[in-house]
Amino acid sequence: MRKLRFKNRNGVLYFGYGDKLISSKMKYNNFSKNIIKNRVENGELNEALKIGRNIEKVPLITDLLNEVMSEKSARLKHKSMLAYKSASTDKIIPYFQGMLVSEIKPIHIKRFQDYLVSRELGASSINLCRVLLLDIFDLAVLSEYININPVRMVKKPTLKKEVKKIKTFTLDEIDLMLSTLHGNIRNFIGISFFTGMRSGELLALKWEDVDFTTYTISISKTIADGIINSPKTISSNRDIEMIEKAKEFFKMQQLETGMKNSFVFLSKKNEYYNTNYHFYTAFKKVQRELNFKDIKTLHTTRHTFASIMLNNGIDAMWVSNTLGHENLQITLKIYAHFMPKREKMSIGFLNKRYKNGTK
């Protein structure tokens, strides 16, 4: 027979079976406990305790996960949902499959986090799992299936911070690739190298966003898995300068699709590209054909743009704005080591003013 439990919550007596307790609306003392015991024995509280009924079955973790994911999909952008879906299907569901929310204790959460660390997952991946689990068990508390969220009792795992070295191309390598590529692939790669635009931003670009009078590019959209969305952050909505080298590739691409008054890059079926796969595979293929030792991703074009600009003394704030970073600190954190170091600063304007000693 199940044991009747009592608990003191701010001086009020709560009672019930398992983790789900209900208020007696009486003070917590032995007299109140005896009253509850007698009423339970007489069957007077069967309705309150749901004895003999199956009104609210405790749900599985996966049941509440579906609710959480549904709620997130209504307010998050497609790209963010892809990350959450990965955390859900690849990590949470396989580990907690078939487990009730009421079965999970803090130790289970700790062991799950340890498991993720053992898989050598990064901090962002582990944090996504924690966010989902926090939401799941917050919902369980709100629904009165459990009393305490076990995730909140477990600290985030401490991970060693590994500084990843940014990989970039040299100008010689860029020239070699661009001399080998042709057509819209060459233009896509060239624009990527000389604007620092993300692939999704370039896929979503229309000719109406390209101004050959002011030589500016307006970036306000991105494409991910076929869905056109606004950029993830406010700073990603931006107007950037079209430098001379980028203009060269835009002009050549204009000959390809400019008369169609649509997307800058169109497939042979005159449709916009759902993903960057067409350009991604061509980009890797040309590197292999040229016997490059380290095959890099398309995103490396963005790193290369930033490194070339900073290494040649271009203003860091201009680079930051062009990349669409939220602030200069983000740019410097990633790319500061590309900036040339100066042993001595030449303060020319002061030397000129005070050279005669008149001031």
- Mean pLDDT by groups of 10 residues along the chain of 359 residues: 78 80 85 87 72 61 92 81 91 93 93 91 90 94 89 88 78 95 96 95 95 95 84 84 95 90 91 92 95 92 93 91 91 82 58 60
Cβ 206 vs Cβ 262: under 8 Å? yes
C-alpha 33/C-alpha 24 separation (Å) is: 9
The per-residue pLDDT for 126 is: 92
Per-residue pLDDT, 100:
92
Which backbone phi and psi does 27 adopt, to 5 degrees?
Answer: -65, 150
The whole-angstrom separation of Cα 172 and Cα 178 is 10
- The domains of the chain, with CATH numbers, are 5-49 (no CATH), 61-153 (1.10.150.130), 171-338 (1.10.443.10)
In this prediction, residue 9 carries a pLDDT of 82
Q: Output helix, strand, coil percentages for the chain, rounded to the nearest 5.
A: 55, 10, 35
In angstroms, rounded to a whole number, what is the distance separating the alpha carbons of residues 336 and 332? Answer: 4
> Which burial class, exposed, middle or buried, applies to 138 when counting CB atoms under 10 A from its CB (0-12, 13-18, 19+)?
middle
- Cβ-Cβ contacts under 8 Å for 172 (sequence gap 6 or more): none
Closest to 37 measured CA to CA, from 10, 8, 15: 15
| 323: number of Cβ within 10 Å | 24
Write phi, then psi, for 178 (nearest 5 degrees): -65, -30
The span from the CA of 20 to the CA of 149, in Å, is 13
Residue 178 contacts residue 170 (beta carbons within 8 Å): no
- Do 200 and 223 form a contact (C-beta atoms < 8 A)? yes
Contact present, 90 and 130 (Cβ < 8 Å):
no
- Residue 52: predicted pLDDT: 44
> Rounded to an integer, what is the distance from CA 215 to the centroid of its chain?
32
By CB atoms closer than 10 A (0-12, 13-18, 19+), residue 254 is middle
Radius of gyration, alpha carbons of the chain: 30
